[in-house]
Amino acid sequence: MLAAMSGGVDSAVAAARAVAAGHDVTGVHLALARNPQTYRTGARGCCTLEDSRDARRAADVIGIPFYVWDMAEQFHEDVVDDFVAEYAAGRTPNPCLRCNEKIKFAAVLDRAVALGFDAVVTGHHARLGSDGLLRRSVDLAKDQSYVLAVLTRAQLDRAMFPLGDSTKAQVRAEAAERGLAVADKPDSHDICFIADGDTKRFLAERLGSAPGDIVDATTGAVIGQHEGAYAYTVGQRRGLDLRVSAPDRQPRYVLSITPVTNTVTVGPASSLDVTGVVGERPVWTVPTEGAVACEVQMRAHGETLPATVRLEDGRLVAALGRAARGIATGQAIVCYEPSPDGDIVLGSATISQTS
């Protein structure tokens, strides 16, 4: 088994549990930052030299071999560059999902299999049932099945998530009992490659200033200006430089971003309601035919909604049982089947249209 060790408490305990279960485990830390010192401010971010050292110390305590794999260039191309390109195209990407898809369970898994490892062990809070299907963690507050739903059945067959049956509190307590120094280490937050959390500044440094109009959807009038449409996302209210009050005096929210015209369109909250979603590049792990009644989640840690979904011409089409508000293209729609043993992930797709 290859244990991906980030330097945090979750991956350390996952590796320890894999060893305790009788597996022959080797720890690997992924060096993802071109300049590791830039990827952390306080508890934000990850992938720093500090994290590498923490991972190595944890491997020593557990008693397993440890290596560092430099994947910075591939991470930058597949995750960071993709993140910038998606915002430039008017979409709102999820880089954690992309990292799981392109790095941890593609590049890393491929290399691991080529080297003779059977599977990759990670500290994600999710479960794999005896049927090989992905399920939510028992700790719903920490559940990460949403960002793992992009994995194919073949990738899941070579994955191991030892923490899915435990709460985060239980994981920290076990780490302390095992003598792991990371037991009380804070969780990383936000986007790992934007250490200070300032996404607008990060994008502006790469895409430059691009002034344009903010247009009211109701009247068609120009009511403000922006310095770059990429700095906005659907549902956003704060940070709008509106110079003309709405006729109804109600708050205005971002309804859409149009890169071709460099326009941000705003309108009332009611205009954010969505009842239909179309997703591209679906990954479906459970064989189904026709329309499927399920629950869908369209944000990490967002609410679930009843829906009827179907696969149509290579796309996932979802009719929502009730309106959702502020759904952005570029995010994932993940479909779940409620189960007494934990909600089962049926599949996912990247949202390309809403209606």
On whether 123 is known to bind a ligand per the annotation, the reply is yes
Residue 323 per-residue DSSP state: E
Please tell me whether 334 is known to bind a ligand. no
Distance (Å, whole) CA 104 – CA 97? 10
The sign of the torsion formed by the CA atoms of 171, 174, 175, 176 equals positive
| The dihedral sign for the CA sequence 257, 259, 260, 264 | positive
List 46, 47, 96, 99, catalytic entry: 99
Tokens encoding 272: 């954010």
Strand order across the beta sheet in which 263-267 lies: 222-226, 212-216, 263-267, 253-258
Q: CA–CA distance from 220 to each of 72, 217, 259, 265, 267 (Å)?
A: 45, 5, 17, 9, 10
Residue 81 assigned ligand-binding role: no
- 9 appears as a binding residue in the annotation: yes
Q: 143 among the known binding-site residues?
A: no
- Do the annotations mark residue 317 as ligand-binding? no
Question: Does the annotation mark 192 as catalytic?
Answer: yes
Q: Catalytic one among 46, 47, 192, 294?
A: 192
The H-or-E segment that residue 139 falls in is: none
- Per the DSSP assignment, residues forming a β-bridge with 40 are 45
Q: Is 239 assigned a ligand-binding role in the annotation?
A: no
For residue 270, the surrounding DSSP H or E stretch is none
CB 274 within 8 A of CB 323: yes
11 annotated to bind ligand: yes
Query: Does the annotation place 6 within a ligand binding site?
Result: yes
Binding residues: 4-11, 30, 123
Q: What residues are designated binding site for ATP?
A: 4-11, 30, 123
- Which residues are known catalytic residues? 99, 192
